[in-house]
Amino acid sequence: RKSTLNPNAKEFNPRAFAQPK
């Protein structure tokens, strides 16, 4: 069975883990 997941998908950038300014 071939996966439908796309290895070229855009990386998710979580707000909660973002560096504070």
CA-atom Rg of the chain in angstroms: 14
Kindly tell me which of 14 and 20 has the beta carbon lying closer to other proteins.
14
Kindly tell me which of 18 and 21 has the beta carbon lying closer to other proteins.
18
Residue span 1-21 as binding mask against other proteins, x where in contact by CB under 8 A, dash where not: --x-xxxxxxxxxxxxx----
Cα 1 off chain centre by: 23
DSSP letter string over 1-20?
------TTPPPP--STTSPP
Binding-site residue total for other proteins (CB under 8 A)? 14
Residues that bind other proteins (CB under 8 A): 3, 5-17
